[in-house]
Amino acid sequence: MKFTTLNETCYYFDAVVNIGYVHRGDNGMLIDAGIDDSIMRKVLKELKSNDLPVTHLFITHGHADHYGGAHFLQKRHDITTIAPKFEAAILQNPTLEPLYLFQGNDPLPELHNKFLEGKAIQIDQEIEAGTHEIDGISFATHLLPGHSYHQLAMEIDGILFAGDSYFSEEQLDKHKIPYITDADLTLESLRQLEDIMCDGAVPGHGVFEKDFTQTVKKNIDCHESLLDWLEDYITEAGISHETIVSDMCEHFEVKNSQLSSWLLYRTAVTAYLVGLIKRGKIDHYIEKNTWKFRKVQS
């Protein structure tokens, strides 16, 4: 984990899951909190050694790898915690994540793991997209859904802390089918990112880039090529949801041996199906108690 300076007030901890930091006089705001106590322990140690305060925390979205360290932070420091609405509900009730991934069934014990469920945290202020001033810290937030229902990226002092609204090229290559919840909204958010004028962006996973438009473009290309593959693959005769999940994962050489990772990929594959439905390319129906998808005849 490397503590990197971006400008006079903005920094970030370059890690598996990046953590932003903004310094304003006696105040210091962390943006996201890493996955667990040990990450947060390192963050606090680094800030202390640089004599930097920590008074505020903003969480971009309710995924455990972005808020798992927040409980430890709240125990150690008197923190004002800010989160997007809807995402705040998950941060306060973390079982909601394994619950929704498991389609509303009570999650099996193995789904209560730190990758899907962090410790509950207190949220002091729920916000939406717009401009804000909290305790003298002014910033703007952008609603960028498609990866998480109500994800907000934070723009402050010229830097965009983008959460998981886009991924680094390495992440795209690693996951093959990136975790998204709606392909259409993901693409809309990526196009919105291209229009944000700022001095650079820190994604949730990857490195800070002054010009991040090429990386955003690679994200768009990745999603469009997955949509193209799926559109070619679905026939007029119809294919079951279960078969599509299996075939798409096999085709892109995704290897799932655990239920928790398979559930994430099921959601991602479904996000591309939803994207094609919204484009009018396919439709869906129930046949013999099986959820099926077929090409729309043009």
Please give the residue ranges that form the binding site for Zn ion (CB under 5 A): 63, 164
CB 164 to Zn ion: min, Å: 4
CB 16 to Zn ion: min, Å: 12
Identity of the residue, 193 or 282, whose beta carbon is nearer to Zn ion in the bound complex: 193
Tokens for 116?
């899907």
Identity of the residue, 87 or 155, whose beta carbon is nearer to Zn ion in the bound complex: 87
CB 144 to Zn ion: min, Å: 11
Cα separation, 46 vs 203, in Å, equals 21
Q: Which residues pair with 84 in a beta bridge?
A: 127
Tokens for 51?
């004599």
Cα separation, 176 vs 265, in Å, equals 10
Integer CA distances (angstroms), 20 to 12, 60, 156, 190, in order = 4, 11, 11, 20
Identity of the residue, 144 or 244, whose beta carbon is nearer to Zn ion in the bound complex: 144
DSSP state of 21: E
Identity of the residue, 180 or 276, whose beta carbon is nearer to Zn ion in the bound complex: 180
CB 63 to Zn ion: min, Å: 4
CB 10 to Zn ion: min, Å: 21
Identity of the residue, 164 or 182, whose beta carbon is nearer to Zn ion in the bound complex: 164
CB 163 to Zn ion: min, Å: 7
Identity of the residue, 144 or 249, whose beta carbon is nearer to Zn ion in the bound complex: 144
Edge-first strand order for the sheet with 282-287 is: 239-240, 290-295, 282-287
CB 65 to Zn ion: min, Å: 7
Left if phi > 0, otherwise alpha if psi is -120 to 50, otherwise beta: which for 140? beta
- What is the chain's alpha carbon radius of gyration, rounded to the nearest angstrom? 20
Q: Which residues pair with 19 in a beta bridge?
A: 13
- Residue in the block written with tokens 């430890």: 72
Identity of the residue, 144 or 273, whose beta carbon is nearer to Zn ion in the bound complex: 144
Integer CA distances (angstroms), 258 to 38, 116, 160, in order = 25, 13, 34
